[in-house]
């Protein structure tokens, strides 16, 4: 049974949802408070959505200084799977664990709505159980979700197959419709949509399962 640490910052609010989704897939989860300096013995780390430290200054800008982030960086550098969802993605970019940045949505309003994602790369711990060009209906829920980066970073993302998910219809003004990216090694991934909100047809979509299954190591190699 994979053991996943779910990092809780003051102001996080999707920690229960993320943990619940991972447990549905057979993982065991443990909340790690932001003040912790060690993750313990875990097989993966999730930074959930929410408003870490109130999103003050800008999303993720304060969270990168939380004590736990040193342990997350060490874990990532050793090749451990790290997933940032929404605010977690913002934290990972601020912490320098993923390239680029998330800026305010094109329409300058918060957006909570279903989106259709297209899997662009399976070279990541999040998309490894999916197949390229697979379409997945997964909701977004953010104010600052427009992915941006400079041209060199963009060229590098393309060259190393780090763009893992794109929007079919760009909701927020993200560069090249980018919804999620990985690091070069593919073990650190961030995405703005919420796969944990797409775990059941009762709630509208079960398409997030294939992403989280890949993350916890289920169905890998089945593609």
* DSSP β-ladder status, 28-33 and 101-103: unpaired
Work out how close the CB of 129 gets to another protein at its nearest, in angstroms, rounded to a whole number. 21
Contacting positions for another protein (CB under 8 A)? 10-11, 13-14, 16-17, 20-21, 33, 50-51, 53-56, 109-113, 139, 141, 143, 194, 196-197, 199-203
By annotation, the residues acting in catalysis are: 86, 194, 196
Closer residue to another protein, CB minimum distance, 26 or 54: 54
Backbone angles phi, psi at 135, to 5 degrees: -100, 130
Torsion angle (degrees, nearest 10) of CA 215, 135, 101, 70: 0
| Least distance CB 161 / another protein (angstroms) | 31
Which residue in 45, 122, 123 sits closest to 88, CA to CA? Answer: 45
Nearest to residue 89, comparing CAs of 111, 113, 60, 67?
60
| 4, 153, 167, 184, 199 from 19: Cα distances, Å | 8, 32, 25, 26, 12
Smallest gap from Cβ 59 to another protein, in A, equals 11
Nearest residue (CB) to another protein, 102 versus 163 = 102
Q: How many CA atoms lie within 13 A of 8 on its CB side?
A: 13
- For another protein, give the closer residue by CB, 166 or 197: 197
Residue with smaller CB distance to another protein, 20 or 219? 20
């Amino acid at each position: 049974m994979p053991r996943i640490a779910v990092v809780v910052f003051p102001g996080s609010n999707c920690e229960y949802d993320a943990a619940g989704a991972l447990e549905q897939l057979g993982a065991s989860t443990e909340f790690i408070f932001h003040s912790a300096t060690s993750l313990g013995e875990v097989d993966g780390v999730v930074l959930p959505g929410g408003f870490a430290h109130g999103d003050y200054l800008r999303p993720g800008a304060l969270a990168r200084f939380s004590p736990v982030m040193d342990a997350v960086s060490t874990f990532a550098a050793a090749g451990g799977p790290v997933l940032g969802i929404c605010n977690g993605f913002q934290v990972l970019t601020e912490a320098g664990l993923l390239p680029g940045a998330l800026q305010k949505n094109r329409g300058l309003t918060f957006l909570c709505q279903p989106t259709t994602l297209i899997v662009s790369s399976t070279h990541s711990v999040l998309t490894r159980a999916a197949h390229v060009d697979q379409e997945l209906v997964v909701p977004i829920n953010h104010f600052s979700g427009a992915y941006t980066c400079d041209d060199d970073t963009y060229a590098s993302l393309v060259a190393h197959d780090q763009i893992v998910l794109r929007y079919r219809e760009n909701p927020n003004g993200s560069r090249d419709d980018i919804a999620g990216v990985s690091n070069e090694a593919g073990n650190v991934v961030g995405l703005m949509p919420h796969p944990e909100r797409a775990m059941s047809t009762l709630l509208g979509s079960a398409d997030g399962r294939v992403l989280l299954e890949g993350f916890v190591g289920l169905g890998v190699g089945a593609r």
